[in-house]
């Protein structure tokens, strides 16, 4: 793992009332070949421009494959 410097280009300012969506590929890190029910929750720790950190956590979602 390489630690790199965080720059202003790494940030997205979220505007009030706007919605942002991002699609992620679970099969890059998880074996999701089998049909069934999958429960997903996203949690990440992001660095702030001032050097602090913020935790970003999504709602829990459940998806069924197959």
pLDDT (0 to 100) of residue 14: 81
Reported as a single tens digit per residue, the pLDDT across 9-55 is 877 788 899 988 878 788 888 888 899 999 999 888 877 778 788 88
Chain Cα centroid distance, residue 42: 5
C-beta of residue 49 within 8 angstroms of C-beta of residue 8: yes
Half-sphere exposure of residue 30: CA atoms within 13 angstroms, side-chain side: 8
CB count within 10 Å of CB 38 equals 13
Among 58, 54, 66, residue whose Cα is nearest residue 22: 58
Helix or strand run (H / E) with residue 6: none
pLDDT (0 to 100) of residue 1: 64
pLDDT (0 to 100) of residue 38: 92
pLDDT (0 to 100) of residue 17: 92
pLDDT (0 to 100) of residue 45: 83
């Amino acid at each position: 793992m390489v630690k790199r410097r965080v720059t202003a280009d790494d940030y997205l300012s979220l505007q009030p009332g706007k919605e942002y969506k991002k699609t992620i590929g679970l099969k890059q890190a998880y074996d999701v070949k089998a049909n069934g029910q999958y429960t997903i929750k996203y949690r990440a720790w992001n660095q702030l421009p001032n050097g602090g950190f913020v935790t970003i956590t999504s709602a829990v979602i459940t998806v069924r494959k197959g």
